Amino acid sequence: MRIGALEAGGTKMVCAVGNESGEIFKREVFPTKTPADTMPDMLDFFEREKVEALGIGCFGPIDPRRDSPAYGYITSTPKLAWQNYNIVKAFEERLRCPVGFDTDVNAAALGEATFGITRGLKNSIYITVGTGIGVGVYSEGRLLHGMMHPEAGHILIRRHAEDTFAGCCPFHGDCLEGLAGGPSLEKRWGKAGALLAGEKKVWEIEAYYIAQACVNYTMILSPERIVLGGGVMKQPALLPLVREKFTELMAGYVKTPRLEDMESYITGASLADNQAVMGCIQLALSCLPSER
């Protein structure tokens, strides 16, 4: 089968074609501009490739509930040109094929659960720490929704004792994303994260916030594994520090065999940064009649 995958990000749109085994045959990347500028290129790409189904993992907020009148829409995104845009309808009308739809980070969680490091587990979460912070939740063998989808990058957390930075989330100031997302590093320290590799205090504070979030997610969602991805997590010192801080903050309260192997419980992403694209393939497959 020829399956389309669209990882629709805030800065770029990754369009790919693969099969049900997760093999990727072709990929093109388009900058995320306005719908009028970006959609024609993507529609042409998938039409030329004659895909039999399409999966979209999209920046949000979105409405992923099929029983909602706003299903398929990008809703209150700060990218004003895309607000209230029905991206699913645009592809369905042009391609005449089934379209699966979810957040980009839920797609990443699904990619890891289907093809990657959380395969075989019924409960896992994927956290991306980059320009923003997003959390995809795979619970009891399916992606978690509710009244919309998890927005767990905006949880309120306890401030580090040595951190005086106000936070930079335009909605909440010092939420998790406002204190630990990529832009907070540059605004707090005056340099991009890539230029702060040798600064111990930078990564101690960053690890404290990420570990605190992981504790909260463990208490609430009880995942069998937590996967950390995104550009900020490419800093080599960070993942070991997160595990260390997590153990300190957990303080022995939860005792399970999984928490005895911290390197297996909190891990880096697999799939060579293709987890969202591969999750989109699975979203597409879930729309086909044979998969229902």
| Mean pLDDT to the nearest integer, 261-290 | 94
CATH 3.30.420.40 in the chain: give the residue spans: 3-104+273-291, 117-269
Answer CATH for 3-104+273-291 from 3.40.50.920, 1.20.1090.10, 3.30.300.30, 3.30.420.40 = 3.30.420.40
* Tally of CA atoms within 13 A in the half-sphere of 114 that contains its CB: 25
| Mean pLDDT to the nearest integer, 170-183 | 94
pTM strictly above 0.85? yes
Q: Which two tokens stand for residue 13?
A: 């749109």
Provide, rounded to the nearest whole percent, the portion of the chain with pLDDT above 70.
99
Consecutive H or E run containing 203: helix 200-221
Q: What is the pLDDT of residue 150?
A: 85
Residue 94 and residue 50 in contact, taking contact as beta carbons nearer than 8 Å: no
253: Cβ–Cβ under 8 A, 6 or more apart, which residues?
none
Tally Cβ neighbours within 10 Å of residue 52: 15
Distance CA 231, CA 235 (A): 8
Distance CA 16, CA 98 (A): 16
133: Cβ–Cβ under 8 A, 6 or more apart, which residues?
127, 153, 154, 176, 177, 180, 181, 213, 230
Return the CATH class of domain 117-269. alpha beta
